[in-house]
């Protein structure tokens, strides 16, 4: 899809032919729901076609995708492979599409992508809470070679621990979350880009982004460790102290100097505030309904409903007549929550989720101590 469209006139004549991987590949949840509610395959088809087109462009060597593609030629304009801006929600929606629709192909793509991320983007020791070496960290690499491209990470990558919670990789999620929380503790906000080698912001503004709060909320739901309530309170107090304005909350122009911009993005209300609210609201109906709800990448709640696992049209989407029949969607089963929760070690529930020596290691890594 084009990155910009005028709703009245169509694609602007002077628009460029480039779009980011996340922008082109994060339509499947909403478009899939629309198709299944209307019984019209068109919307899901165009979304799936975009995902498959991107997937077909991954590197033969590493299996990685870039972050900016020319929609006319299919050539990668941005060859950086990472988990932040331009890439983030592509991976998120591969998994969430499977959760919602049960299409095995979505899960297969996600599992392959996750394995390639672990192989080429992850640095540091193998285990989060044991062993020697640097804390686990996901870096930006060249999609073709896996070589390090820069030494910064961006604040949008803080969504990834929450995604890891959804697939049960709670241990690794704990470590990455702790890294971003340490940066927050140092500045009272997350700089848009943080240089982990220089221990300083590369891009120092903070537009009230929700990703760290989202991961905090999901880690608390997975572990029920009160540590994450403490993290949430710390974030809430920082927002009140540094970003509160007369008529709302302001973007921080500089996380060190705490100067403000007259701007409050819509995701602050739809995501940042929502996840903070839900973090502390144990009695919310969302928490009483088991596995019946899921959040979109923009923080909207959708129902995980058996009806979405049944296509109301033929099992071959338009344009796939020569393809083999799609596999039957996986049956939606209620999760055994007592069983799932027991997979999280008891010490992750009552002690610090990350051992104190590893917590101090991360604090030193970001210049907090």
Element housing 36 (H / E): helix 28-38
Q: The tokens 């959804």 sit on which residue?
A: 166
Please give the annotated binding residues for Ca(2+), written as ranges: 297
The CA distance from 23 to 21, in Å, is 5
Name the residue among 216, 209, 194 with its Cα closest to residue 239: 209
Q: Radius of gyration of the chain from Cα atoms?
A: 21
Q: Which of 30, 44, 92, 192 is catalytic?
A: 192
Task: List alpha helices for 58-198, DSSP H.
Answer: 88-101, 104-120, 160-166, 170-187
Give yes or no for a contact between 162 and 219, defined as CB atoms under 8 angstroms apart.
yes
The CA distance from 48 to 70, in Å, is 18
192 annotated active-site: yes
Distances in Å between the Cα of 100 and the Cα atoms of 29, 168, 190, 353, 356 are 8, 17, 31, 30, 38
Torsions phi, psi of 84, nearest 5? -100, -140
The CA distance from 294 to 247, in Å, is 31
Name the residue among 159, 158, 197 with its Cα closest to residue 180: 158
Please give the annotated binding residues, written as ranges: 297
Q: Which residues carry out catalysis?
A: 192
């Amino acid at each position: 899809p084009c990155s910009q469209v005028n709703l009245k006139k169509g694609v602007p004549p002077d628009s460029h032919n480039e779009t980011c991987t996340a922008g082109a590949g994060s339509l499947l949840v909403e478009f899939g729901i629309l198709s299944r509610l209307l019984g019209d395959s068109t919307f899901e088809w165009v979304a799936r076609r975009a995902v498959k087109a991107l997937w077909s462009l991954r590197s033969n060597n590493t299996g990685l995708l870039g972050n900016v593609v020319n929609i006319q030629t299919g050539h990668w304009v941005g060859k950086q492979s990472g988990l932040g801006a331009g890439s983030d929600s592509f991976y998120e929606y591969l998994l969430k599409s499977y959760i919602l629709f049960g299409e095995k192909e979505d899960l297969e793509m996600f599992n392959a992508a996750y394995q390639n991320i672990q192989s080429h983007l992850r640095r540091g020791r193998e285990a989060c809470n044991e062993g020697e070496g640097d804390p686990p960290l996901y870096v930006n690499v060249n999609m073709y070679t896996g070589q390090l491209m820069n030494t910064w990470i961006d604040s949008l990558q803080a969504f990834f621990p929450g995604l890891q919670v959804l697939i049960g990789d709670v241990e690794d999620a704990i470590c990455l979350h702790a890294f971003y929380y340490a940066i927050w503790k140092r500045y009272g906000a997350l700089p848009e880009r943080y240089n982990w080698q220089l221990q300083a912001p590369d891009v120092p503004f903070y537009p009230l982004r929700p990703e760290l709060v989202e991961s905090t909320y999901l880690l608390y739901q997975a572990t029920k460790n009160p540590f994450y309530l403490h993290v949430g309170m710390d974030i809430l107090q920082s927002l009140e102290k540094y970003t509160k304005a007369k008529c709302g909350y302001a973007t921080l122009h500089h996380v060190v100097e705490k100067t403000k911009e007259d701007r409050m993005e819509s995701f602050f209300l739809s995501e940042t505030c929502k996840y903070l609210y839900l973090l502390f609201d144990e009695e919310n109906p969302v928490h009483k309904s088991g596995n019946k709800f899921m959040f979109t990448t923009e923080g909207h709640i959708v129902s995980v409903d058996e009806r979405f696992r049944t296509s109301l049209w033929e099992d071959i989407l338009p344009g796939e007549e020569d393809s083999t029949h799609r596999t039957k969607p996986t049956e939606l089963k209620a999760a055994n929550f007592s069983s799932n929760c027991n997979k999280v070690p008891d010490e992750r529930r009552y002690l610090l989720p990350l051992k104190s020596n590893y917590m101090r290691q991360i604090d030193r890594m970001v210049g907090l101590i």
